[in-house]
Amino acid sequence: MPSRLDALNRWVDDVARLTRPAAIHWCDGSDAEHAALIARMEADGTLVRLNQATHPGSWLHRSHPDDVARVEHLTFVCTTEREDAGPNNHWMAPAEAHAKMDALFDGCMQGRTMYVIPYCMGPIDSPLSRCGVEITDSPYVVVNMRIMTRMGAPALARIEREDRFVKGLHSTGELDPARRFIMHFPEELTIKSYGSGYGGNALLGKKCHALRIASWQARQEGWLAEHMLIVGIQTPQGKTHYIAAAFPSACGKTNLAMLIPPEGYRRAGWKVWTVGDDICWMRPGADGRLYAINPEAGFFGVAPGTSAKSNPNALATVQANTIFTNVGVTADNQPWWEGLDNGLTPALDWRGEPFDPATRPAAHPNARFTVSARQCPSYSPMAEDPQGVPISAIVFGGRRASLVPLVFQARDWTHGVLVGAAMGSETTAAAAGAVGVLRRDPMAMKPFSGYHFGDYFAHWLAFDRAGAQLPAIFHVNWFRKGEDGKFLWPGFGENLRVLEWMIGRVEGLVGAVETPIGLLPRPQDLDLAGLDLTDAARAALFGFDRDGWRAEFDALAADLATYAPRVPEALLQEHARVRQALG
């Protein structure tokens, strides 16, 4: 009787004939396998052993200086019809893309081991989870995928049961930027990535599968694959509300996912539970609510700026069993990055050269840590729940120095989709290119949606149907600045004050004032006790600038027009309604 793994075995054989590896290793995810890979990489310099007294089980990886971030201009969505990929994606015809990639893969693994990595995105027994297999020639990818996914024998068993999986083929190639591409074939559930060892380009379970391919699957199957954290907020009454929040990279997702309540809130009994810090898969449950899982098992977080002040939970999480990428090291081989503020100083920078602040920072601005989510002090016991957690609120946010208030609530689901579509943020080091430029990034998904944004907006709108018990939708801006260029809101743990207002709105317990852009809290609606906010700061954080919002909505109209003619009419009508209300 034929095995249900025949398709997988045939694919592995085909890849081996193309890439011609010296050996093939099927990954089982075991401790012994992991130890052998670590030892091999330490021997060849791929990993550097860190101070085992201060950071047991932890390692440093230094990537090629030209391979330190996602490369959106070299990332393609390859659909049969160009329009299906949309103007939000670079497109290449599938036949052309396969030919280009297969020419690069031809013989690329000679002298190398080809690793076959079966993995599951999401709890291994969850009906919401989806499986994949990544073939790679990078042992660094294997050890990272072991942290970031449920990898190995249990995943292979599920693949055999289900007889379906996402195919991902990766090679570091020559790490030549001119020979670097990441191709997605959503109609084939296939990914091909060549020429990069950076996590966002090489860990194919992450952005490639869990967002670009999964968003395509989600649209077909009636769920959502989103670039969102999932956090549980437990009130003093013992009720936990789960919130999904979308922010562009390096705009505070991990900080919010691991938020520690201010002292007064802790004394009152507030608790925060971390379910996920980056990706959220949601689908309607039998009761009409949206239920979410974190498809990842680990954190691939930005190290610079992580400190005992900004994110003590993240700092505690990475004290052991962590792979650091492109950070500096101290004289006694402890990891170090800008913002760490631990009283130590770096001896070597991220390139392994003596640290000279006049030459480059100690850590690359996009330096990373890979670590199991289970090590987080605020790790939620619900994170592995096969049914997922019910979502009470969805939050959109970005880095805006002006105009956008601290928080406002969407009027209804359709208005909320427009709020998400209007998101804008200043670019960060997580994407190659200029930093600090305002870029419209709907739902923080512009780099990650596997299909046309007009269809994506329509898919979101389709969830508003009879029997649905949809989450409330909010927008936040922690990054509003005053005329002196300083942030007006303290942020970090104090953001719980804003989340408390959201929960109060969900439970119908607190007020708001209606404006054309949505429902804003009055300063008295938030607990601001102990915060030193000037009158000018309050006016900016809780105010509404009608003239500024007119200009914003005019700019948004131009942005939505780029997705014509597929922008849903309901979204255009909602835009027109708000614009008319603005006068």
Known catalytic residues are 251
- What phi and psi, each to the nearest 5 degrees, are found at residue 121? -90, 110
DSSP 466-535: TT--PPEEEEE-TT-B-TTS-BSS--GGGGHHHHHHHHHHHTT-S--EEETTEEE--GGGS--TT----H
Determine the Cα–Cα distance for residues 164 and 131; give it in Å rounded to an integer.
Answer: 7
Rounded Cα distance between 534 and 542, Å, is 12
> What is d(CA 211, CA 281) in angstroms, rounded to the nearest whole number?
9
Give me the DSSP letters along 255-309: HHHT----HHHHHHT-EEEEEESS-EEEEE-TTS-EEEE---SEEEEE-TT--TT
Which are the contacts of 271, defined by CB distance < 8 A and separation ≥ 6?
A: 233, 234, 261
Measured in degrees and rounded to the nearest 5, phi and psi for residue 118 equal -75, 135
Selection from 352, 371, 367, 322 nearest residue 50 by Cα? 322
Contact 251, 227 (CB under 8 A): no
Asked whether 403 and 553 are in contact (CB, 8 A), the reply is no
- SS3 for 536-568, per residue? HHHHHHCCCCHHHHHHHHHHHHHHHHCCCCCCC
Question: What six digits make up the tokens of 337?
Answer: 């990055």
Angle (deg, nearest 10), helices 214-221 and 453-461: 40
Residue 238 CB neighbour total at 10 angstroms: 8
Token pair in block for residue 286: 């039998």
Q: What are phi and psi of 514, to 5 degrees?
A: -85, 130
